Amino acid sequence: MSTELLKHKLDRAFAHMDVNGDGKIERDDLLGLGARILVGFGESPTSPTGSRLVHGFESIWQTLSGEIDGDGDGAISPEEFRAGMTSAFVEGDRFEAVFGPAAEAIAELCDADGDGAVGPVEFRVMLTAFGTPHDDVDVAFERLDRDHDGSISVGELVEAARQYYTSADPNAAGNWLFGPL
């Protein structure tokens, strides 16, 4: 993967997780991101799906803080994030174990009617929680709706998340998960 593309994707991911915008990721940031997603979908954190999402984000924090917070200050800097994410998730094979459960829980929330598909309205709710600019949401949806049927399957959405964080292919559809790079 091009170093610049990787850096750009990880910087964008860092910005999504740094919910309060203070230049570091802390536990409250990740839980705040989870809360924004739950509120967007009107889901309780104590429902089965809400609990999976909260647990997934807590698991992400535990892994990131344990493996990426190099100075042990309880906060992850952009430099720590880039280095740790590259090592564990781009070069390593940790996505499924760490990010996979949260990606699946988010995809389940997006599939509000349980038909296995995410429509443009649900996709917009999700990307709004991640801070994606309104104009970029439609472009992202179009790129991820590869068969142009007006929906993205839950499996395709989880795969797009995996590709976003791990793909070495600059043409991977998942690179569009949060809009144009």
Report the pLDDT value the prediction gives residue 165, as an integer from 0 to 100. 84
pLDDT at residue 9 tops 60: yes
Percent of the chain with pLDDT over 70: 98
Q: Which two tokens stand for residue 110?
A: 């997006």
Question: Is 1 within 8 Å of 170 (Cβ atoms)?
Answer: yes
60: left (phi over 0), alpha (psi -120 to 50) or beta: alpha
Q: What confidence category does residue 2 fall into, taking pLDDT thresholds of 50, 70 and 90?
A: low
What are the residue ranges spanned by the domains of the chain? 3-176
Average pLDDT over residues 8-27: 93
Burial environment of residue 18 by CB neighbours within 10 A (0 to 12, 13 to 18, 19 or more): buried
Q: pTM for the full model?
A: 0.86
Q: What is the pLDDT of residues 45-72, one digit of tens each?
A: 999 989 989 998 998 899 888 888 889 9
Q: What is the pLDDT of residues 86-127, one digit of tens each?
A: 887 777 777 888 888 888 889 888 998 889 999 999 999 999
What's the fold here for domain 3-176?
Answer: Recoverin; domain 1 (1.10.238)
Q: What confidence category does residue 15 fall into, taking pLDDT thresholds of 50, 70 and 90?
A: very high
User: What does 130-177 look like in DSSP terms, one character per residue?
Assistant: TT--HHHHHHHHHHH-TT-SS-EEHHHHHHHHHHHHH---TT-GGGGT
Give 30-37's long-range contacts (Cβ < 8 A, gap of 24+). 30/57, 30/58, 30/60, 30/61, 30/64, 31/57, 31/58, 31/61, 33/57, 33/129, 33/130, 34/102, 36/129, 37/106, 37/109, 37/126, 37/129
pLDDT at residue 1 tops 50: no
Rounded Cα–Cα distance for residues 28 and 130 (Å): 15
